[in-house]
Amino acid sequence: MNKIRVFYFFAEGRKQVRDFINQQKTITVQLFCESKLEGTAEFELTDFLSDNVIKREFFKYFSQKSFQTTLSWGLSMSIGLNEEQCMQD
């Protein structure tokens, strides 16, 4: 485990983000061990439909499809929106 991945997504504006969320609703993260799917975790995006929400912190446990141990695996994740203003010449 011990891997951190940062993903950046870009959109022209908040409307495009809302359109994506209305279509997608969730982000699914999959946990693999030696190329075998061990579990999934889904993160709701619908809070971002409000202009007042710009950041969410999540912690979810992976569904246990075939874990060989009694351990539960979880994931902490932050999702934030940052609006950049482009300068015109």
* Residue 79 pLDDT level (bands cut at 50, 70, 90): confident
* Residue 67 pLDDT level (bands cut at 50, 70, 90): low
Residue 41 has phi, psi (to 5 degrees) of -140, 135
User: Can you tell me the distance from the alpha carbon of 38 to that of 67, in angstroms, rounded to the nearest whole number?
Assistant: 6
- Give the three-state DSSP class for 46: helix
pTM exceeds 0.95, yes or no: no
List, for residues 12-63, the tens digit of each pLDDT value.
888 888 899 999 999 898 888 788 888 888 999 999 888 888 889 999 888 8
